[in-house]
Amino acid sequence: MAAARRQFSSRKDMFQALRDTILERLRNKLEAEGKASMVCSGGSTPKMLYPKLSDAKIDWSNVWVTVSDERLVPAHHDASNEKMVRLKLLQDRASDANFVPLISNDRNPRDAEKTVEERLAGMPRPHAITLLGMGDDGHTASLFSDDPDLQRGLDMESGRNVKAVVLKDPPEEAPYPRMTMTVPALLNSDLIIVIITGDEKRFLMEHAISGEDATQMPIRAILHQTRANVEVFWAP
Ligand code: 6PG
């Protein structure tokens, strides 16, 4: 199943289409199942989208929200994706939504994985919608090609939803250990939208689509698979 691609002439148009798509998905799921869940990515692009969802008239009290990956910092830290989602999305009507954090107080990363697994087990799945970004190196969520432990994140048969990530050379702008959803957990979604902007990311996406090796570019594990519908949204 090839990823569908939607190109917009402005970010404003893209955010409007994203708002419509996300709310339609949440509404349909709420109507059919009484509850729905949404996986939000970190990164700079969705920051502009989230505030546009907060005032939507949907039954937010039956919506579960989590993040695709998290930097292992306290929830009030500026590098925290949870902080960003709470500040940008979980406001106004959306403040009624249930947030599921990916951080824990465990000191040992394997214990932290266990704690977070237990929490995620309470979320309605498949997720109604999963939003992802793509980093300049082809990473998505916190699945990085230079993670010596990447295979545990890519393994479709692991039965795991999350894995801790400790990189030797973490991204300069957020040099923290992380927790990421695994590929099977990300694909456990009715729809995945990968949101990218600018020409550089457009070229990088071409490159990701034209090759298969997910250990080089982990975003490929999302683009080349048969479990979930994927759409790539692009604006300049
Ligand atoms: C994170 C992200 C990460 C992000 C990409 C794209 O928390 O770091 O989840 O995977 O989505 O790096 O980020 P931009 O939207 O800033 O390009």
Each residue's pLDDT tens digit, 58-83: 999 999 999 999 999 999 999 999 99
Q: Which protein residues touch ligand 1 with a CB less than 6 Å away?
A: 41-45, 68-69, 81, 133-135, 139-141
Cα 74 from chain centre: 19
Amino acid identity, residue 204?
A: L
Q: How far is ligand 1, taken at its centre, from the CA of residue 16, in Å?
A: 20
* pLDDT at position 139: 97
Could you identify the atom of ligand 1 that is nearest to the CA of residue 44?
16
Q: How far is ligand 1, taken at its centre, from the CA of residue 139, in Å?
A: 8
The reported pTM is 0.97
* pLDDT at position 3: 92
| Mutational pocket test of ligand 1: of 14, 69, 196, the residue with most ligand atoms within 8 Å of the beta carbon | 69
Terminal-residue alpha carbon distance, the chain: 26
Cβ–Cβ under 8 Å, residues 147 and 165: yes
Look at ligand 1, atom 7, and give the residue with the nearest C-alpha.
42
Look at ligand 1, atom 11, and give the residue with the nearest C-alpha.
133
Q: How far is ligand 1, taken at its centre, from the CA of residue 42, in Å?
A: 5
**Residues in Cβ contact with 24 at an 8 Å cutoff, skipping those fewer than 6 apart:** none
Across the range 18-30, mean pLDDT stands at 98
Look at ligand 1, atom 10, and give the residue with the nearest C-alpha.
141
Cβ–Cβ under 8 Å, residues 185 and 157: no
Over the stretch 101-144, which tens digit does the pLDDT of each residue have?
999 999 888 999 999 999 999 999 999 999 999 999 999 999 99
